[in-house]
């Protein structure tokens, strides 16, 4: 049976991040993708120039419409932008416990534009994080969620992953892409155990949407029934391949997208 996975996130019209990246990632990972919009953005590979928010009641109505008709096997949450939208999403999903929820706490776009209002942090921390099967922050996001300094070592990453689970999620995956090292390790903390996922750092500027892509790939693998450690391993391997093949694409003049379909477009030149 093909699994159905829902993303709740913002839109990127250039196709590299947001729901566009999520839907591509879902398809590449073998699940049927659905999308609830929280925000429209005017952006491209060079940055974000505008954001229009979807009314919270309509975000909730979209979620309700999907669940009323379609079996949902997992949910990925990305850009929620405001405390009101965070609350609407939390209220809607509280009615549907028991399915995997991956929370990617999107706060800042690749070009530096803020995608989360300051007053939304508390709602994100107290309403959405506790609902998550796994939360997937990068180092700056983990620091903001924990109201502490950004991790700069592996030990600090592992400690912050452990601390994040005290906020309520079943697991926390802290991504090490912001480390100033030659590698790019991620750490998963679940059931009092630490699991490291090693990664080679690929030299490319085309990394737009990597966080969206990883979290949606993880949601797809959890929907298929994989345990967290195996699901993270598959998702990280997929994203590494997508980054490694990113320079095959020619999209924009800034931070281009990763190549979501690198394993399928073998004959593309």
Find the catalytic residue in 24, 210, 224, 256.
210
**Cα–Cα distance, 6 to 140 (Å, whole number):** 26
Given this model, what pLDDT does residue 267 score? 67
SS3 content of the chain, % helix, strand, coil (to 5): 40, 20, 40
* Active-site hit among 18, 211, 236, 256: 211
Instruction: Name residue 6's beta-bridge partners.
Output: 34, 75
Write the pLDDT tens digit of every residue in 31-88: 999 999 999 999 999 999 999 999 999 999 999 999 999 999 999 999 998 999 999 9
Six-digit token string for 74: 């997992």
Q: How confident is the model at residue 180 (pLDDT cuts 50, 70, 90)?
A: low
pLDDT at 119 over 90: no
pLDDT digits (tens, 9 = 90+) for 152-174: 888 999 999 999 999 999 999 99
* Residue 153 annotated to the active site: no
Confidence of residue 183 (pLDDT cuts 50, 70, 90): confident
| Residue range 82-118, pLDDT digits in tens | 999 999 999 999 989 899 999 999 876 665 556 677 7
Q: Is 110 a catalytic residue?
A: no
- What's the pTM? 0.95
Report phi then psi at 121, rounded to 5: -60, -40
Tell me: the pLDDT tens digits for 203-212?
888 989 999 9
Residue 182 has pLDDT above 70, yes or no: no
Distance between CA atoms of residues 59 and 190, nearest Å: 30
Could you say which of 41, 207, 224, 256 is catalytic? 207
By three-state DSSP, how is residue 123 classified?
A: helix
Instruction: Name the percent of the chain lying above pLDDT 70.
Output: 94
* Average pLDDT value over all residues in the chain: 92
Are 201 and 184 within 8 A, CB to CB?
A: yes
Tell me which residue of 211, 206, 147, 205 sits closest to 177, measured CA to CA: 211
Catalytic residue among 3, 78, 134, 212: 212
Contact of 196 with 187, CB cutoff 8 Å:
yes
- The one catalytic residue in 209, 224, 236, 256 is 209
Which residues, including other chains, have CB under 8 Å from residue 234's CB and lie 6 or more apart?
29, 217, 221, 226
pLDDT band at 15 (very low <50, low <70, confident <90, very high): very high
211 included as an active-site residue: yes
Is-contact 89 59, C-beta < 8 A?
A: yes
Q: Is the pLDDT of residue 181 over 80?
A: no
Q: What are the backbone angles phi and psi of residue 141, rounded to the nearest 5°?
A: -65, -40
Q: Within 10 Å of residue 227's Cβ, how many Cβ atoms?
A: 10
What the chain holds in terms of domains, given with CATH numbers, is 4-248 (3.40.1190.20)
* Strand ordering across the sheet containing 4-11: 47-53, 32-44, 4-11, 74-77, 101-103, 134-135, 171-175, 186-190, 193-197
Does 134 qualify as catalytic in the annotation? no
Q: Which of 24, 175, 224, 236 is catalytic?
A: 175
CA distance 5 to 15: 19
Rounded to whole angstroms, the maximal C-alpha distance in the chain is: 48
């Amino acid at each position: 049976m093909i699994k159905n996975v829902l993303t709740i996130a913002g839109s990127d019209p250039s196709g590299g991040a947001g729901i566009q990246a999520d839907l591509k990632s879902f398809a590449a990972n073998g699940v049927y993708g659905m999308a609830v919009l929280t925000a429209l953005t005017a952006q491209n590979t060079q940055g974000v120039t505008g954001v229009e928010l979807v009314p919270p009641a309509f975000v909730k109505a979209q979620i309700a419409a999907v669940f009323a008709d379609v079996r949902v096997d997992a949910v990925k949450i990305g850009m929620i932008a405001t405390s009101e939208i965070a609350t609407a999403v939390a209220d809607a999903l509280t009615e549907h416990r028991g399915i995997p929820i991956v929370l990617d706490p999107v706060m800042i776009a690749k070009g530096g534009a803020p995608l989360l209002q300051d007053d939304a942090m508390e709602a994100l921390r107290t309403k959405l994080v506790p609902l998550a099967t796994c939360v997937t922050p990068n180092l700056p996001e983990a620091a903001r969620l924990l109201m502490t300094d950004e991790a700069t070592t592996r030990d600090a990453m592992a400690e912050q992953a452990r601390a994040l689970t005290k906020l309520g999620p079943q697991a926390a995956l802290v991504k090490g892409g912001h480390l100033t090292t030659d590698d790019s390790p991620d750490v998963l903390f679940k059931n009092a155990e630490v699991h490291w996922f090693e990664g080679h750092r690929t030299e490319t500027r085309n990394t737009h949407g990597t966080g969206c892509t990883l979290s949606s790939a993880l949601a797809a693998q959890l929907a298929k029934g994989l345990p967290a450690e195996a699901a993270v391993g598959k998702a990280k391997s997929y994203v590494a391949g997508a980054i490694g093949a990113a320079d095959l694409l020619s999209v924009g003049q800034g931070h281009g997208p990763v190549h979501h379909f690198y394993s399928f477009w073998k004959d593309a030149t």
